[in-house]
Chain A
Amino acid sequence: RSTYDCYGIITAAFSAFHSQMKQSATVHCFPRQEIMKWNGWGYSDSKFLFNKKGQAEFTGKRYRLSGMILPSLQDWFENTFGASVKQHKSPPSLNAGALPPANLNEAFLQDLTATGIPFSHEADDRVFRAHGHCLHEIFALREGRGFQRVPDMVTWPNCHNDVVKIVELACKHNVCVIPYGGGTSVTGALECPPEEMRCIVSLDTSQMNRILWIDEKNLVARIEAGIIGQDLERLLNEGGYCTGHEPDSMEFSSLGGWVATRASGMKKNVYGNIEDLVVHIKVVTPRGVMEKSCQGPRMSTGPDVHHFILGSEGTLGVVTEVTMKIRPIPEYRKYGSVVFPNFEAGVACLREVAKQRCAPASIRLMDNEQFQFGHALKPQVSSIFTSFVEGLKKFYITKFKGFDPHQLCVATLLFEGDRERVLQHEKQVYDIAAKFGGLAAGEDNGQRGYILTFVIAYLRDLGLDYYVVAESFETSVPWDRVLDLCRNVKERIIRECKERGVQFQPLTSCRVTQTYDAGACVYFYFAFNYRGLADPVHTYEQVEHAARDEILANGGSLSHHHGVGKLRKEWMKESISDVGLGMLRSVKEYVDPDNIFGNRNLL
């Protein structure tokens, strides 16, 4: 039984491919694809489907929703997208024959074999590491179209020294290396550049997954960068600690990936974002290993070299080990939620909470669409009493308080700390909310909001089964522009869809998902029924492109935590200026003059 419980949302442990298998150079040694989908999100055993009765259910045993019937999802799905559960479209199975043949560098292979580091050039190993989870990537897999270029081989270093050896050999034989952590990228960062003629080696960090030591005096831990988020938490939990870093992808994403993309966790208000959590980084580059000589909590030694690595997206080297802050597991944890009459009131409240610097571990404001989406995921209620209470609540909010069900929105809250403080804190936040017309709406609503973020990617696979494409994207923006940005981006999406011939009204939804002193992070969901479109992915990309233009024109950033990858490269110059881009380029040129780390992200 797992001690780690992601708030009761995820209940099963994930420890298949990092088991300490005996190393051998035989192929097929660490097949992630045995427990994970090769053409969709997450575990193979967990997926949404509409059963024979047309009712939605979530299969498997891993999540709180697993095995449950979700009676309102079908209606919501059909009404929102104009889709029909009768029009099912199942994806084909992997066609290994369609794969480009591996372009191997024999000399490199020979030297690598000599080191004893395991590798493989099996088709499914290569395809699995040829992509992240952008819509176009998943769509291509599901359509059986595959990719123009995939890694030619995969290698599994076991420790820092293995990585040093691989990188040395790569430099020696001029081989392209693409680091691969959890594979959850949504920026096209893992795609192989089609023009890359050299042998591409996918460097899979999954075997570097140990906690090397824990320093309880300084509350830091030394961790290998390949560790997956939920394993890290589980292992630390065993000793009574946590990192508190919980990005929505934490079930599958890796520590090294977080560093390489400047990840942000849901509870950053208490624990900080990855750049606040990291104390020391060891990174292997073609120039050699870079690390600081001490673990002082802050330094004034010129620009922080860690920041060349944070967000470098695999263009400079491989992060192998990280010293990270840890905290004792909080004594008490409590969900909460507040209903607001409209989004404007909600944003005003979040702004005030940020101003008073009393944000709980997590505070998120979902717009009306997302609130309704969340409601569609309510499991079947077993007792008449519960449904009666639900009805009463609804009556109170919409009839008695006069909230318009098509306007109201919900803030979800998560408090952590010792019990007394949590309760005090809770009161403070609810008092502020009341000033903006917010009504406390219970723990259950709060928790449901967080379920959505863990299952949303599974839901995209469900959508794809029924001709609906979907994606999410994010930005950060100053407080005074939050409302304008949300409204304009949604309107732009609707407009663009119409102009590009999308036959059905798209779903656009957003939430303010993080608060800062000077602004907020906004997260958008966007989906539409693509029946009648010749090239839905292209249409989708055009609309997303327009939406990003709109974000930038409204004072939003290019990305808050997803990163740039290849998807948003074209805006980098505009975003950080010519000179800024030149600075980054010159670092790349010095560190990796032969472009060994040739994934061509970012620059």
Chain B
Amino acid sequence: MASTTLYSQRDPMLKKRDDFEDILEERRNSSDLKYAVRCYAPVLYKGLTPCKANMLKSMVLQSDHLRYVINQVSQESGEAPDIIHEEASVILEEMAHRLKISTVRFFAFTLTKAFKTLFQHICVNEEGIHRLQQAIQEHPVVLLPSHRSYMDFLLMSYILYTYDLALPVIAAGMDFMGMKFIGEMLRMSGAFFIRRSFGGDKLYWAVFSEYVKTMLRNGFAPIEFFLEGTRSRTCKSLTPKIGLLNIVMEPFFKGEVFDVHLVPISISYERILEESLYARELLGVPKPKESTSGLLKARRILSENYGSIHVYFGQPVSIRSLAQDKVNRCKYNLVPRHIPRKPTKETQSFVTDTAYRIVRLQEDSMVLKPWVLMASILLQNLEGLELSLLTEQTLWLRGLAQSCGAFLDWPDHTPSAKVVSSSLALHRGLVCVSGGRVSLVLGEPQGLVTPEEALFNRAVSVLSCASYRNQILHVFIRPAILAVAIHNAASSKKDEVFNCFSFLCKMFSDEFILCPGDTVQDFEEACYLLVKSGSVQTLQQNIVVTDRGQSTLSFLNGLLESFLQGYQVVCQYFCEEACDSLTEKQYIPAVRSFAVKLILAGNLRCYEVLSSDMQKNALAALLRLGAVSKVKVADQVTLKVNKLAVNSLEDTLGGRLPTQKAVLARL
């Protein structure tokens, strides 16, 4: 079953993946209007309780669960239950979707127009569609796409409509609601809106979770949400948020449905619409608030070529088979099922584990373009390199990537020089070729610019380029961490290398998708891949780099270089600059100006540390490892630094201090 493919460790080269079909091709040859008004009759869940979107609302408001919470809140706050009920109904009104087929048809029409100008191809694996179709009939289905762009959920609904599949209801962030008209349009195409944070709000949580569960139990429609919680600005998967996953699993744990199927979906863009927007956002230029007029201004993008999109519908994963022997459902027997309870530790860790596995499945089926390889090489050669050398190295990297199981979309029967040059052409906003040398563009040098401005312009290019390199990180991350571990470890003893590896995994677990508790498995996978590619040999509990492995190892080291440096800069900042009253809010700008200073002074060449994403992840790591802690003072959260610990982490990262078990344990 699905679970076996999840756990079995196979040769990644042998991974069988489906073929793609271009769904735009048919659109280009037939009427868009006809397509938009065609007969739409999707297959439905066999246990479906048919109901209208409005009936859903009353089912939610009358549910035992909500009634229980309303009474509870009323008792705690002293307000009359009626008033709380009214509040709940307002929340639901604000949240609920109003799926209407006419709106969907409208989108089908307009999106076809837009897609045809923006993209060359939209490729979908049809076998995945067939699997999904079957799954929808058998069980409530949860669609879990990767999230890189605003386009994602429109695209998802568009594809499902195209294949005559049930349209999903989609959990969307409240920020969309800022766009009045579009927000309502999205609502009518199946989006429901949730506030970004409602941690303590019992009533909100109850309305929200009951709404989702009611739709799931009745098989109203597939439920779609993004495990990553938000769009990844870096094109590297974000560590999953498990709140919603918890909610959709509960009906299974409580026996209300026989099973729930999770469908990982990988959406890969050759070029992301928000490309340079993201880079600026990461550098602290605030993102434009979502507004309809903003979207209209973005029409400019319509004139650009964004290459193709690949959407891969993965094998549906049965929660039932995943949970077997992991979750004891009997524990749900002793309390009425409508009374909300915190999930147990066992459940919590199961949900987390599943979330990570799904994200890994998403990553595994991400389609990578040749440009991703080129970007990885360019970032290790910021001063630029000869076109011929770039081509040669790209080809070398292609081999390495494939042996590590990358899902590479390399055009058949095309000379490699052509592949490289057409990639360069598509990304001419990021790279330039002059005199046979390829280098990153340095932004627009208009008039006089201050050194800071120049620096930021350069950083935009680097971060944009990094967002492409990041797409391949999941392929190399385990071998790369191993490469660093081999480099940093005091000796080539396997257990010493493992200690080092395990330290790095702990350090980077917010940065990369490394499932907590999988370190041993990850280590073995990394060893397996490097041994297989002939880069290392294991000789009697020693891990030794072979001669021909040097280049691979040095590439892999280079891949993580900016992360290692970035984290060290953050540590350095905490040791040297951070004052006692540093608040959480001040942290990002402060680190950023610290790094800018270092770069301007010529003491640092790493631009990626300017990325707020990396800064946040580094802070999260330090908090997790206890080197920094949060202290609540008045209504402000300040960061308290344990300089000794931070310092030792910094040195360990830099390979200046051996990884000691004791250090780790103390941390």
Give CA–CA (A491, B47) in the complex, Å: 12
**Complex interface: chain B residues within 8 A of A485 (CB):** 255
Complex contact B256–A480 (CB within 8 A): no
Q: Does A5 contact B (CB under 8 A)?
A: no
Complex contact A555–B332 (CB within 8 A): yes
Complex contact A484–B333 (CB within 8 A): no
Q: Does A488 contact B (CB under 8 A)?
A: yes
Looking at A481, A485, A492, the one whose CB has the most chain B CB atoms below 10 A away is A481
Complex contact A488–B336 (CB within 8 A): no
Q: Does A554 contact B (CB under 8 A)?
A: yes
Complex contact A484–B256 (CB within 8 A): yes
Q: Does A305 contact B (CB under 8 A)?
A: no
Complex contact B258–A487 (CB within 8 A): yes
Q: Does A318 contact B (CB under 8 A)?
A: no
Q: Which residues 469-487 in A have Cβ within 8 Å of B in the complex? A: 480-481, 484-485, 487
Complex contact B255–A484 (CB within 8 A): yes
Complex contact B336–A480 (CB within 8 A): yes
**Complex interface: chain A residues within 8 A of B336 (CB):** 480
Give CA–CA (A484, B333) in the complex, Å: 13
**Complex interface: chain A residues within 8 A of B328 (CB):** 553
**Complex interface: chain B residues within 8 A of A481 (CB):** 255, 337
Q: Kindly report which residue of chain B lies nearest to residue A477, judged by CB atoms.
A: B333
Complex contact A552–B330 (CB within 8 A): yes
Q: Does A574 contact B (CB under 8 A)?
A: yes
Give CA–CA (A539, B332) in the complex, Å: 29
**Complex interface: chain B residues within 8 A of A554 (CB):** 255, 329
Give CA–CA (A137, B147) in the complex, Å: 58
Q: A567-581: contact bitstring with B at CB < 8 Å (1 yes, 0 no)?
A: 000000010000000
Q: How far is the CB of A18 from chain B (nearest CB, A)?
A: 44
Complex contact B337–A480 (CB within 8 A): yes
Looking at A487, A553, A554, the one whose CB has the most chain B CB atoms below 10 A away is A553
Looking at B256, B329, B333, the one whose CB has the most chain A CB atoms below 10 A away is B333
Give CA–CA (A491, B332) in the complex, Å: 20
Interface size class of A (residues with CB under 8 A): 10 to 19
Give CA–CA (A555, B253) in the complex, Å: 11
Give CA–CA (A480, B329) in the complex, Å: 16
**Complex interface: chain A residues within 8 A of B333 (CB):** 555
Q: A540-569: contact bitstring with B at CB < 8 Å (1 yes, 0 no)?
A: 000000000000111100000000000000
8 Å CB contact of A491 from B258, B329, B330, B337: B258
Count of chain A to chain B residue pairs whose CB atoms are closer than 8 Å in the complex: 25
Q: Which residues 300-352 in B have Cβ within 8 Å of A in the complex? A: 328-330, 332-333, 336-337
**Complex interface: chain A residues within 8 A of B47 (CB):** 487
8 Å CB contact of B258 from A480, A492, A552, A574: A492
Complex contact B258–A488 (CB within 8 A): yes
By secondary structure, the B interface counts as loop
Q: B44-55: contact bitstring with A at CB < 8 Å (1 yes, 0 no)?
A: 000100000000
Complex contact B256–A553 (CB within 8 A): no
Complex contact B258–A553 (CB within 8 A): no
Complex contact A488–B330 (CB within 8 A): no
Give CA–CA (A255, B479) in the complex, Å: 72
**Complex interface: chain B residues within 8 A of A555 (CB):** 255, 330, 332-333
Q: B16-46: contact bitstring with A at CB < 8 Å (1 yes, 0 no)?
A: 0000000000000000000000000000000
Q: Kindly report which residue of chain B lies nearest to residue A552, judged by CB atoms.
A: B330
**Complex interface: chain A residues within 8 A of B256 (CB):** 484
Complex contact B337–A553 (CB within 8 A): no
Q: How far is the CB of A1 from chain B (nearest CB, A)?
A: 51
Give CA–CA (A485, B330) in the complex, Å: 12
Q: How far is the CB of B137 from chain A (nearest CB, A)?
A: 14
**Complex interface: chain A residues within 8 A of B332 (CB):** 555
Q: How far is the CB of A406 from chain B (nearest CB, A)?
A: 13
Q: How far is the CB of A178 from chain B (nearest CB, A)?
A: 32
By secondary structure, the A interface counts as helix
Q: B242-258: contact bitstring with A at CB < 8 Å (1 yes, 0 no)?
A: 00000000000001101
Q: Kindly report which residue of chain A lies nearest to residue B1, judged by CB atoms.
A: A499
Q: Which residues 256-305 in A have Cβ within 8 Å of B in the complex? A: none
**Complex interface: chain A residues within 8 A of B337 (CB):** 480-481
**Complex interface: chain A residues within 8 A of B330 (CB):** 552-553, 555, 574
Q: Kindly report which residue of chain A lies nearest to residue B324, judged by CB atoms.
A: A549
Give CA–CA (A485, B255) in the complex, Å: 7
Give CA–CA (A481, B255) in the complex, Å: 8
Q: How far is the CB of B534 from chain A (nearest CB, A)?
A: 41
Give CA–CA (A488, B258) in the complex, Å: 5
Looking at B256, B258, B336, B337, the one whose CB has the most chain A CB atoms below 10 A away is B258
Give CA–CA (A492, B258) in the complex, Å: 8
Q: Kindly report which residue of chain B lies nearest to residue A485, judged by CB atoms.
A: B255
Q: How far is the CB of B327 from chain A (nearest CB, A)?
A: 9
Give CA–CA (A326, B65) in the complex, Å: 46
Q: B166-185: contact bitstring with A at CB < 8 Å (1 yes, 0 no)?
A: 00000000000000000000
Give CA–CA (A574, B329) in the complex, Å: 12
Give CA–CA (A481, B336) in the complex, Å: 10
**Complex interface: chain B residues within 8 A of A484 (CB):** 255-256
Give CA–CA (A553, B328) in the complex, Å: 7
Q: How far is the CB of A597 from chain B (nearest CB, A)?
A: 31
Q: Kindly report which residue of chain A lies nearest to residue B251, judged by CB atoms.
A: A484
Q: Which residues 484-523 in A have Cβ within 8 Å of B in the complex? A: 484-485, 487-488, 491-492
Give CA–CA (A552, B333) in the complex, Å: 9
**Complex interface: chain B residues within 8 A of A491 (CB):** 258
Q: How far is the CB of B154 from chain A (nearest CB, A)?
A: 35
Give CA–CA (A398, B554) in the complex, Å: 76
Give CA–CA (A27, B425) in the complex, Å: 102
Q: How far is the CB of B474 from chain A (nearest CB, A)?
A: 33
Give CA–CA (A554, B333) in the complex, Å: 7
Give CA–CA (A555, B328) in the complex, Å: 12
Q: Kindly report which residue of chain A lies nearest to residue B338, judged by CB atoms.
A: A480
**Complex interface: chain B residues within 8 A of A488 (CB):** 255, 258
Give CA–CA (A549, B337) in the complex, Å: 19
Q: Which residues 253-283 in B have Cβ within 8 Å of A in the complex? A: 255-256, 258
Looking at A552, A554, A574, the one whose CB has the most chain B CB atoms below 10 A away is A554
Give CA–CA (A162, B329) in the complex, Å: 49
Q: Kindly report which residue of chain B lies nearest to residue A487, judged by CB atoms.
A: B258
Q: Kindly report which residue of chain A lies nearest to residue B329, judged by CB atoms.
A: A553
**Complex interface: chain B residues within 8 A of A480 (CB):** 336-337
Q: Kindly report which residue of chain B lies nearest to residue A491, judged by CB atoms.
A: B258
Give CA–CA (A43, B256) in the complex, Å: 43
Q: How far is the CB of A466 from chain B (nearest CB, A)?
A: 31
Give CA–CA (A480, B333) in the complex, Å: 11
Give CA–CA (A553, B258) in the complex, Å: 11
Q: How far is the CB of A570 from chain B (nearest CB, A)?
A: 14
Give CA–CA (A492, B47) in the complex, Å: 15
Q: How far is the CB of A578 from chain B (nearest CB, A)?
A: 15
Q: How far is the CB of A3 from chain B (nearest CB, A)?
A: 47
Give CA–CA (A554, B47) in the complex, Å: 18
Q: How far is the CB of B112 from chain A (nearest CB, A)?
A: 40
Give CA–CA (A574, B334) in the complex, Å: 13
**Complex interface: chain B residues within 8 A of A552 (CB):** 330
Q: Which residues 22-70 in A have Cβ within 8 Å of B in the complex? A: none
Q: How far is the CB of B260 from chain A (nearest CB, A)?
A: 13
Give CA–CA (A574, B330) in the complex, Å: 9
Q: How far is the CB of B62 from chain A (nearest CB, A)?
A: 15
Give CA–CA (A369, B258) in the complex, Å: 20
Q: How far is the CB of A355 from chain B (nearest CB, A)?
A: 16
Give CA–CA (A9, B650) in the complex, Å: 86
Give CA–CA (A491, B330) in the complex, Å: 18
Give CA–CA (A252, B116) in the complex, Å: 78
Can you list 6 pairs linking A and B with CB atoms under 8 Å apart? A480-B336, A480-B337, A484-B255, A487-B47, A554-B329, A555-B255
**Residues of A at under 8 Å CB distance from B?**
480-481, 484-485, 487-488, 491-492, 552-555, 574
Known: A552-B330, A553-B328, A555-B255. 15 other contacts (CB 8 A): A480-B336, A480-B337, A487-B47, A487-B258, A488-B255, A488-B258, A492-B258, A553-B255, A553-B329, A553-B330, A554-B255, A554-B329, A555-B330, A555-B332, A574-B330
Which 8 A-B residue pairs are closest in the complex by CB-CB distance?
A553-B329, A554-B255, A555-B333, A484-B255, A491-B258, A488-B258, A552-B330, A484-B256
